[in-house]
Amino acid sequence: MSTTSFHPRTRPIGMGHLRAFEAVARHLNFRAAADELSLTQSAVSRQIQALESEVGIALFLRHTRAVELTSAGSMLLRAATSALDRVDSTVRQIRQSAGRRSVAITTWASFASMWLIPRLEDFQRQHPDIDIRIDATDTPVDLNTADVDLALRYAVPQAVPADAVRLFGETLTPVASPWLLRTHPIHRLEDLANCALIEAGDAHRTRHLEWLTWQRWLDEFASPARAPKDRRTAPPSRLSPQRWLYFNYAHQIVQAALTGQGVALARLPLVAESLASGALVEPLPHHRIESPLVYWLVLAPRSAQRPEVRAFAQWLQAQAAATRQAIGDVPDPDAMDHLD
């Protein structure tokens, strides 16, 4: 048994030492480990001694013709095997992807699931050699430092860079499932009182997002200047529905409406496909309102000239044009910008 005295250190251990240790521990033989690593037996022995010096305790019991792991060595082997497997797996992925073209997008979860992802197959069909990575987060990232190529954002014009490209504006409208409307028909605003109303639970606490609330929508149509000319009675500025349902995300709000749980005040760009398919119905089509919030495309400065990023940005603008047409959004000159 070794009687060497060790003085533990605090600095990280070297990867080469771990490789040598894992090989010796797996073979329980210095010569076999040396052959595997294409090193001399003395070089492997020196690496193990250096590792034991770094750790501060013996990792092997050295016998005349064999070695045996100590309890500390067994602990380190379990950790080293797992860590080295993860490193090797990551390196294989990097090597496989080397030379492949890719585009990394940051956006928020509801937009990714409701608008972007359903359309991605079209881009992949046109560009099968371009990999796509979507980072869905509600926290805006800094495009100057983050590992992303472009951002899809939802903000007022004053909150985006001057070179941001307008995709489409925001229109809000009540939507419901067709079978809910069969049992609770809605022909005028007052009929909403017979239904559950669904809205964003945190909209009241965030500037500009108050446009997403039922109260803001009702206030718009309580004004004689905004009320439809053919309304039969003055709509209420305060309305008491059967109950309220609150959700944090737009896709949750729409999902609740799709399953007939109530009437949602929906963002028209995100439900245009559901309205076109009949999965949702717009019971009050003359009661749409536009909010100051806009959907934007913002390119990372270092990525703007890469061909694959330009291809994806141009595809996004074509998809946005189709959405503008579907919701009746007036074309904006900024939306027609090209990334030349």
Cβ neighbours of residue 161 under 8 Å, at least 6 residues apart? 298
Residues 226/243, Cβ–Cβ less than 8 Å:
no
- Residues found in the chain: 340
Question: CATH top-level class for 15-97?
Answer: mainly alpha
> Would you kindly state where each structural domain of the chain is located, as residue ranges?
15-97, 101-340
Whole-prediction pTM value? Answer: 0.66
Q: What angle do CA 74, 80, 85 make, to 5 degrees?
A: 135
Distance (Å, whole) CA 72 – CA 69: 8
- Quick one: which of 209, 204, 200, 180 has its CA closest to 192? 180
- Quick one: which of 156, 174, 161, 185 has its CA closest to 218? 174
**Domain 101-340 is of which CATH architecture?**
3-Layer(aba) Sandwich (3.40)
Same-fold call for 15-97 versus 101-340: no
Written as six digits, the tokens of 117 are: 């992802």
CA-to-CA dists, residue 279 to 52, 239, 249, 255, 262, angstroms: 66, 26, 19, 11, 14
CA dihedral 276, 109, 175, 214 (to 10 degrees): -150
Residues 72/59, Cβ–Cβ less than 8 Å:
yes
Residues 272/327, Cβ–Cβ less than 8 Å:
yes
Task: Pinpoint the alpha helices (H) of 168-224.
Answer: 178-183, 214-222
Per-residue pLDDT tens, the chain, 340 aa: give them.
444 556 656 667 778 889 999 999 999 999 999 999 889 999 999 999 999 988 889 999 998 888 999 999 999 999 999 898 888 877 776 766 666 788 999 999 999 999 999 999 999 999 999 999 999 888 888 888 888 999 999 999 998 999 999 999 999 999 999 999 999 999 988 899 999 999 887 766 666 778 888 888 888 886 554 444 444 444 445 677 888 999 988 999 999 999 999 999 999 999 999 999 999 999 999 999 998 999 999 999 989 889 999 999 999 999 999 999 998 886 544 444 444 3
